[in-house]
C-alpha cells in the first residue's frame, strides 16, 4: 500500500461540482492499493498515517502526530501512485491492484481510520475528482507498506 501524505491547513475534494469531503488542519492522504496488499498492509498504513510525527510541538519540531493533536484526515483514492514509471513516456499500472480489490481495501482503510480518529473525510473511489489544498510547510511524505515476500 502506498500513501502520499501532505500536511494541510485545509483540503477538499469535489465530484461533479459538489464538495464531497472537506477538512481543516490535518493531513491529506492519497492512497493506492497494490496487488499483494492485504488487511495487514491496511492496518499498518492506518497506524503509520495516524501516528506519523509531522506536526510541530511546543519547540516547533515535527514531534506530534495527527492523533496527538486530534486533527482531521482527508483520504483520497489514487491508483496512479502505484504507476511503474521506470521506462518510456507512458506509465504502466500493473503495480496497482485491480479496481475491485482497490475499492475493498480503500474502504477498509476508511473504516479503520474512522474507528481511531473522530474527523475523517474521503474522496470517491473511481470518480473524476478535483482536489484542493493549502499545503502547510510544504510538508509531504511518501509512505509504503509491503506484503512479506517468500524467499
CA dihedral over 41, 76, 93, 139, signed as positive or negative: negative
Rounded mean pLDDT of the chain? 95
Contact 38, 46 (CB under 8 A): no
Domains of the chain: 2-144 (3.50.80.10)
Residue 69: all three cell numbers together: 493533536
Q: What is the pLDDT of residues 80-119, one digit of tens each?
A: 999 999 999 999 999 999 999 999 999 999 999 999 999 9
**CA distances in angstroms from 55 to 29, 71, 93, listed in the order given:** 15, 10, 33
| Catalytic residue ranges | 78-80
- Tell me what the mean pLDDT of segment 29-47 comes to: 97
Question: How many percent of the chain have pLDDT more than 70?
Answer: 97
Phi (first) and psi of residue 95, to 5 degrees: -90, 0
In angstroms and rounded to an integer, the radius of gyration of the C-alpha atoms of the chain is 15
Confidence band of 150 (pLDDT split at 50, 70, 90): very low
Q: What is the pLDDT of residues 118-146, one digit of tens each?
A: 999 999 999 999 999 999 999 999 999 98
- Tell me what the mean pLDDT of segment 47-75 comes to: 97
Of the candidates 40, 39, 42, the residue with the CA atom closest to the CA atom of residue 2:
42
Phi (first) and psi of residue 94, to 5 degrees: -65, -20
Amino acid at each position: 500500500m502506498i500513501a502520499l501524505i501532505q500536511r494541510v491547513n485545509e483540503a477538499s475534494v469535489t465530484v461533479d461540482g459538489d464538495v464531497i469531503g472537506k477538512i481543516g488542519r490535518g493531513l491529506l492522504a492519497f492512497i493506492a492499493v497494490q496487488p499483494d496488499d492485504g488487511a495487514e498492509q491496511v492496518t499498518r498504513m492506518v497506524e503509520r498515517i495516524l501516528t506519523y510525527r509531522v506536526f510541530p510541538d511546543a519547540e516547533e519540531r515535527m514531534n506530534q502526530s495527527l492523533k496527538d493533536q486530534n486533527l482531521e484526515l482527508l483520504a483520497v483514492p489514487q491508483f496512479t501512485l502505484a504507476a511503474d514509471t521506470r521506462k518510456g513516456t507512458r506509465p504502466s499500472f500493473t503495480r496497482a491492484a485491480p479496481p475491485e480489490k482497490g475499492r475493498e481495501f480503500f474502504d477498509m482503510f476508511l473504516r479503520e481510520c474512522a474507528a481511531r480518529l473522530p474527523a475523517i473525510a474521503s474522496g470517491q473511489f473511481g470518480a473524476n475528482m478535483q482536489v484542493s489544498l493549502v499545503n502547510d510547510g510544504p510538508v509531504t511524505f511518501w509512505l509504503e507498506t509491503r506484503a512479506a515476500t517468500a524467499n
